[in-house]
Amino acid sequence: MPAAHDSLLGRITIDSDVRFGKPCIRGHRITVQEILERLSSGASQQQILADFPQLEPDDFLAVYADAAELAAGSKVSRG
């Protein structure tokens, strides 16, 4: 895995006390699942950033990296 990929995955956090241990973005209460659901419903990154100003553009890359790992079977589903 390239270092950049690992760095992006570092933006995804899991804490059993936050959102029932679902993968979240940088310790916020925004889950990877929520972002993927909004994107798949047609929301743009700009719309999501407007709704969640605490997010950063690289957080989307982290969400994609996390989803790619799950799809490849490289990561066990944790949520």
SS (H, E, C) 14-35: CCCCCHHHCCEECCCCCEHHHH
Q: Report pLDDT digits (tens) over 7-25.
A: 999 999 999 999 999 999 9
3-72 fold: Arc Repressor Mutant, subunit A (1.10.10)
CA distance 9 to 23: 10
Q: Express each pLDDT in 28-37 by its tens digit.
A: 999 999 999 9
From the list 1, 2, 3, 25, the residue with the least C-alpha distance to 14 is 25
37-69: per-residue pLDDT in tens?
999 999 999 999 999 999 999 999 999 999 999
For residue 27, CA distances in Å to 55, 60, 63, 73 come to 11, 15, 13, 24
User: Where exactly are the structural domains of the chain?
Assistant: 3-72
